[in-house]
Copies of this chain bind each other. A is one copy, B any other.
């Protein structure tokens, strides 16, 4: 167990290193933080912290730098979430309120997050699986060809072509449309399958094949989680870091293009509240020297998707966490209103 002062020292090291981007030495620490002890004492503490693996020195006789483990302790025990100021909150709200549709909400959120944190922002589109159905529409494009349009309460629209086994009349179509909507409107996706399973029985035998086809297309659309999309912004911020970063920036850019990986990463946030993954805690190799700060957001009480930022492990965690949390909150509000 580390003494109180040693924790203070670790906190000071993290704060200074984040600020200056340079290894921090014992003398600088005593000067910039009122620790009330001499550099020699701090040196002992630093040696202890290094033994425990919280800090490391890039080379002998250089200052100390926090390790992933050090950041982890800092985030868990030594720092809170820095709340946004009132003007910042107003700015967030104003910026998001101008959105005209779902794409716009996501695009604005990405830009906002990237600007606030000065890092790479990642926003997942509101997921289908946890939302409810607003409306299902069926359009006849050709005698045996339908288009199925699904509209969700988050404003997302999905469409699918349906090739019917047999021609399907306009009146049967209207009937199916009406029955379908009366059963599934305002229902959660998860409940839809059993709400429609007996639907074909209400139709003439020759139409049942088509009805079944439509229903299975609908169910496919509902579960199609791999369709989940995300938007990324602020990649130019990657260039702000270390001048040696050219070598580091490439794997990060590559990782950012693998949307599947990112979605998995974001998806790991289970508990409510902001999740932080530091350095090697990220499964993906390209992100081993970055940290991911993410949180769920949603229109109701429940999260429908995730958003977050990717930055160097040397980041301002309290500020970033505050920004991510605040943005998630306001996006949720906007989605609930629309």
Residues of chain A touching chain B, judged by Cβ–Cβ distance below 8 Å, are 101, 103, 134-135, 137, 139, 141, 147, 149, 151, 155, 157, 159-161, 229, 233-236, 238-239, 243, 245-246, 249-250, 253-254, 256-257, 338
Contacts and interface: CB of A to CB of B under 8 A. Distances in A.
A-side interface mostly: mixed
Nearest to A338: B161
Given A149-B151, A157-B159, 19 more contacts: A101-B159, A101-B160, A103-B229, A134-B141, A135-B139, A135-B141, A135-B147, A137-B139, A149-B149, A149-B157, A151-B159, A234-B257, A236-B253, A236-B254, A239-B246, A239-B250, A245-B246, A246-B246, A249-B249
A234 B257 CA distance: 8
24 contacts: A101-B159, A101-B160, A103-B229, A134-B141, A135-B139, A135-B147, A137-B137, A137-B149, A147-B151, A149-B157, A155-B159, A157-B157, A157-B159, A161-B338, A235-B253, A235-B256, A236-B253, A236-B254, A238-B253, A239-B249, A239-B250, A239-B253, A245-B246, A246-B249
Contact of A139 (B103, B151, B338): B151
